[in-house]
Amino acid sequence: MVPLGPAALTRPARDGRYGSMRAVPTVARWWSSRTDPQRIDLYTRSSYYSTLVFVPVLLFFSVAPDWVTASAWQPLVLLGSSVVTTAACLVLTRRGFRDRAAGPDRQALLVALVSGLVTVGAALAVTGEAPSPAGPWVAGVLGAAVLLALSVTVPTRPLIAGAAVAGVLAGGVALVDGNPPFAAVVIATSIGVAVGFFVSAFRFSVWILDVVLEMERTRGVQAQLAVAEERLRFARDLHDVMGRNLSAIAVKSQLAAELVRRGRDGAADELADISRVAEESLREVRDVVRGYRRTDLPGELAGARSVLRAAGVAVTVTGEEQAVALPEPVQTALGWVVREAVTNVLRHSRASWCSVELLSVGGEAELQVANDGAGGTAGSWGNGLTGLAERLAATGGRLSAGPDGDRFVLAATVPVGVPA
């Protein structure tokens, strides 16, 4: 044995005898990068293709013992026709996997059937006049190959019927080959049952693949719905939060400008209030992003009174003492009603007075906001009222809004016992 020197011990692995094994991590990395549905799909397809590729080999060895008595052209015809049958089955399988809903390719199926019959005839010619199991075996293998290709797109029941036909064909070949009737029946039954189990197993793998792919699509749809729902929630919350605050900032800015223009006191207070509302809006927008925003009904009622009075709207608020006693979920729901109602009064009406009335009767809390700036119809709801109705419906509440004579009334009713 020749001792190894330092140069040999420090030689890079790629120069060694097994340097080609460096490709193994690449294959493993490629496989691990696949998702589970992709792996199952790859496994199913490779199972089909590898099984079909071995069909000519099986037929070649099944008739090999009878080649001694056969002519030179008969094995060649058998081998060539079996290769054509396998190629047609591969095309049938590939197109089936490509478009499962389109059904089997008729041209490929016709080529597979015709070449399969030619292969069976060549097998009978090879075996000669003496009874041989090669002929029925060839018929069974070819029937299994064709049904295997069809199992990608064809349901199980037609495949079982096709397995029975393959068994009958194998029994007929056995009779033509000189086997006794009883032996032909046994051959037909055994081959038909074997082909049926074989094709059913592959069909089951296709069914599993379909289930996995459907689950993957369902998971994708659920993710898209979750994103859409979150976008809708964010848009609704942002509208509810910023609508009233921006309206308040606009009104107070106009009031401050008017006070400065007329030289009256109070402009500094209005500007300070604008800064407070802006800071509150920034905080609430951050809470909206986090999804943990809550509303306080007494605070909303007080804010509504301040904003409306600053806009020159006479306002009366009744039931503030009852607001404190309501559960937090009810206060949250009705707080959004107050915000949306005040926003609509400031932005969509020219009201001179507004009344906010809170009642708690019969296990329900009812909030009614009315003003004399009637406009629109009961059915013409915008995004704000639509989102508000959805929010109340989640707590079992109801919302109605529309003109009532010369008034516009928005009423919301929420059960006091709503869950938190």
Grouping H, G, I as helix, E, B as strand and the rest as coil, residue 43 is: helix
Read off the pLDDT band of 375 (50, 70, 90). low
Domains defined for the chain, CATH in brackets? 22-222 (no CATH), 228-415 (3.30.565.10)
- The mean pLDDT of the chain is 79
Residue 352 pLDDT > 70, yes or no?
yes
> According to the model, what pLDDT value does residue 157 have?
92
> According to the model, what pLDDT value does residue 419 have?
45
Closest among 307, 303, 338 to 414, alpha carbons compared? 338
> According to the model, what pLDDT value does residue 16 have?
47
> According to the model, what pLDDT value does residue 14 have?
47
Compute the 3-state secondary structure of the chain and give helix, strand, coil in percent, each to the nearest 5.
70, 10, 20
Residue 408 pLDDT > 80, yes or no?
yes
Grouping H, G, I as helix, E, B as strand and the rest as coil, residue 97 is: helix
The tens digit of pLDDT for each residue in 110-154 reads 988 888 888 888 777 766 666 666 778 888 888 899 999 999 999
Average pLDDT over residues 145-167: 91
Contact 333, 414 (CB under 8 A): yes
Residue 15 pLDDT > 50, yes or no?
no
Between CA 404 and CA 408, with CA 405 as vertex, the angle to 5 degrees is 45
Average pLDDT over residues 211-218: 83
Average pLDDT over residues 12-27: 52
Residue 420 pLDDT > 50, yes or no?
no
The tens digit of pLDDT for each residue in 318-337 reads 888 888 888 888 888 888 88
> According to the model, what pLDDT value does residue 356 have?
93
The tens digit of pLDDT for each residue in 46-105 reads 999 999 998 888 877 776 665 555 566 767 777 788 889 889 999 999 998 888 778 888
The tens digit of pLDDT for each residue in 227-237 reads 576 677 667 77
Grouping H, G, I as helix, E, B as strand and the rest as coil, residue 377 is: coil
Grouping H, G, I as helix, E, B as strand and the rest as coil, residue 409 is: strand
Neighbours of 223 (CB within 10 A): 10
> According to the model, what pLDDT value does residue 298 have?
86
Helices and strands counted in the chain (H then E): 14, 5
> According to the model, what pLDDT value does residue 131 have?
62
Grouping H, G, I as helix, E, B as strand and the rest as coil, residue 357 is: strand
> According to the model, what pLDDT value does residue 411 have?
92
Grouping H, G, I as helix, E, B as strand and the rest as coil, residue 103 is: coil
Q: Give residue 192's Cα distance to chain centre.
A: 40
